[in-house]
């Protein structure tokens, strides 16, 4: 089976030369007559330039084939192969990664599984974020959750910058929120997911995640790009982590924002997340304050859905633009709103109700 990767080079770069450099340098490493007696063996590992085309802006797009036998069916070895040392070699950006469907890790839940957990099948899901991000006590989290859960909210998550801090330790937050979730379930029959932020040293993350699930966490949040794709894969492949994993895009700009180098947002937040076991992936919507192209956002959405992963557009998601959201995303989406819910003048519960008023109108 094959892996194909698209590299974009500026007009002033010799794309043919650079593509050949990548194809050889990121696979066999070298190729000359000294190895002719073992040509068959080495050739099966060698990358190949498939095509080079010029786009409407004069950029050259080279597609390179990489043998699947060079990698370990995971994202870290894939990244090392397709862009490892070459990422330090000059201009060139990875704008597409095409993987076999069997590659990597599939979500345990994804769109269908999360909908089954919530019992909601015919509309977008509504998600909130605890705000303020820092300064709330564990009890404050419980109070806020009670308000929004009773107003009909589907999901809520920790802010990504809130770790296991003294102001609101993770287990204490979970304890306060779990009690609310249990009461809501008992009184209304409604399940609400709370994505608890998993943090800690690398060797602690798996045990922390297992402990959170044991203590009643029904969803987890992971800052995948700061902790690493291997951490996401580890959690997604562990049978004891039997809850959905929500992947946060923190640090994506450091990898993707440069126009001539790095990787595109659709590769990092779409392909790599979708093939490493995330059940839902957050990313900036183009409506908000974060600069994000509609075309890239659409690619992310479609890539995630192709693997049964929930797209979760965030930033700028407000009740008043629900008609536009429906037109842009349809129903297979989680609409994630922070201040759009929490800063409602009549309180967070009214923020949730404002979404449903527009959604069900």
The residue whose two tokens read 């069900």 is 360
The torsion of the CA quartet 157, 160, 164, 167, rounded to 10 degrees, works out to: -80
- Active-site position among 17, 20, 43, 85: 85
Cα(312)–Cα(332) distance, rounded to whole angstroms?
A: 10
In this predicted structure, what is the pLDDT of residue 39? 66
In this predicted structure, what is the pLDDT of residue 32? 60
In this predicted structure, what is the pLDDT of residue 90? 80
Would you call 190 a catalytic residue per the annotation? no
Task: Provide mean pLDDT across the span 6-14.
Answer: 96
Please determine, for residue 25, whether its predicted confidence score (pLDDT) is greater than 90.
Answer: no
Please determine, for residue 143, whether its predicted confidence score (pLDDT) is greater than 60.
Answer: yes
For the domain made up of 110-359, the CATH class stated in words is alpha beta
CB 223, CB 248: distance < 8 Å: yes
Q: SS3 of 138, please?
A: helix
Please determine, for residue 198, whether its predicted confidence score (pLDDT) is greater than 90.
Answer: yes
Tens-place pLDDT, residues 306-342: 999 999 999 889 999 999 999 999 999 999 999 999 9
Domain segments of the chain: what residues?
2-98, 110-359
In this predicted structure, what is the pLDDT of residue 269? 98
Please determine, for residue 200, whether its predicted confidence score (pLDDT) is greater than 60.
Answer: yes
Please determine, for residue 40, whether its predicted confidence score (pLDDT) is greater than 90.
Answer: no
Please determine, for residue 124, whether its predicted confidence score (pLDDT) is greater than 80.
Answer: yes
Task: Provide mean pLDDT across the span 45-55.
Answer: 95
Cα(246)–Cα(280) distance, rounded to whole angstroms?
A: 5
Cβ contacts of 112 within 8 Å, gap of 6 or more: 308
Please determine, for residue 33, whether its predicted confidence score (pLDDT) is greater than 90.
Answer: no
In this predicted structure, what is the pLDDT of residue 360? 85
The superfamily in CATH containing domain 2-98 is RuBisCO large subunit, N-terminal domain (3.30.70.150)
Tens-place pLDDT, residues 260-296: 999 999 999 999 999 999 999 999 998 877 767 899 9
Please determine, for residue 36, whether its predicted confidence score (pLDDT) is greater than 90.
Answer: no
Helices (H), the chain: 15-25, 39-43, 75-83, 110-118, 138-150, 170-188, 202-214, 224-227, 229-237, 252-256, 265, 273-274, 294-306, 322-329, 339-342, 348-359
What pTM does this model have?
0.96
In this predicted structure, what is the pLDDT of residue 29? 73
Please determine, for residue 45, whether its predicted confidence score (pLDDT) is greater than 80.
Answer: yes
What are the Cα distances from residue 266, in Å, to 110, 113, 176, 231, 337? 18, 24, 37, 20, 21
How confident is residue 28, by pLDDT bands cut at 50, 70 and 90?
Answer: confident
């Amino acid at each position: 089976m094959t892996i194909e990767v698209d590299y974009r080079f500026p007009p002033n770069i010799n794309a043919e030369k650079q593509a050949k450099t990548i194809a050889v340098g990121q696979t066999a490493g070298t190729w000359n007559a000294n190895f002719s007696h073992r040509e068959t063996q080495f050739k099966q590992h060698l990358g190949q330039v498939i095509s080079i085309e010029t786009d409407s802006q004069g950029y050259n797009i080279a597609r390179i084939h990489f043998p699947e036998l060079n990698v370990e069916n995971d994202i870290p070895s894939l990244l090392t192969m397709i862009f490892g040392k070459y990422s330090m070699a000059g201009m060139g950006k990875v704008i597409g990664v095409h993987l076999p469907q069997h590659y990597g890790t599939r979500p345990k839940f994804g769109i269908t599984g999360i909908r089954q957990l919530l019992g909601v099948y015919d509309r977008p899901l509504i998600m909130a974020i605890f705000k303020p991000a820092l300064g709330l006590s564990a009890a404050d989290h419980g109070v806020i959750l009670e308000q929004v859960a009773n107003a009909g909210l589907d999901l809520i998550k920790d802010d990504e910058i809130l770790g296991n801090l003294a102001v609101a330790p993770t287990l204490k937050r979970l304890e306060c929120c779990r009690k609310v979730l249990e009461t809501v379930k008992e009184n209304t029959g409604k399940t609400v997911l709370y994505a608890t932020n998993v943090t800690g040293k690398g060797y602690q993350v798996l045990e922390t995640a297992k402990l959170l699930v044991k203590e009643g966490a029904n969803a987890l949040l992971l800052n995948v790009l700061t902790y690493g794709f291997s951490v996401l894969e580890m959690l997604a492949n562990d049978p004891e982590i039997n809850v959905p994993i929500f992947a946060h895009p923190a640090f994506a700009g450091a990898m993707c924002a440069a126009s001539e180098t790095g990787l595109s947002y659709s590769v990092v937040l779409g392909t790599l997340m979708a093939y490493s076991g995330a059940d839902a992936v957050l990313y900036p919507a183009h409506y908000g304050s974060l600069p994000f192209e509609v075309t890239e956002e659409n690619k992310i959405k479609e890539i995630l859905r192709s693997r049964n992963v929930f797209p979760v557009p965030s930033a700028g998601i407000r009740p008043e633009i629900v008609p536009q959201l429906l037109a842009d995303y349809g129903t297979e989406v989680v609409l994630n709103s922070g201040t759009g819910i929490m800063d409602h003048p009549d309180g967070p519960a009214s923020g949730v109700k404002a979404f449903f008023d527009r959604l069900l109108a």
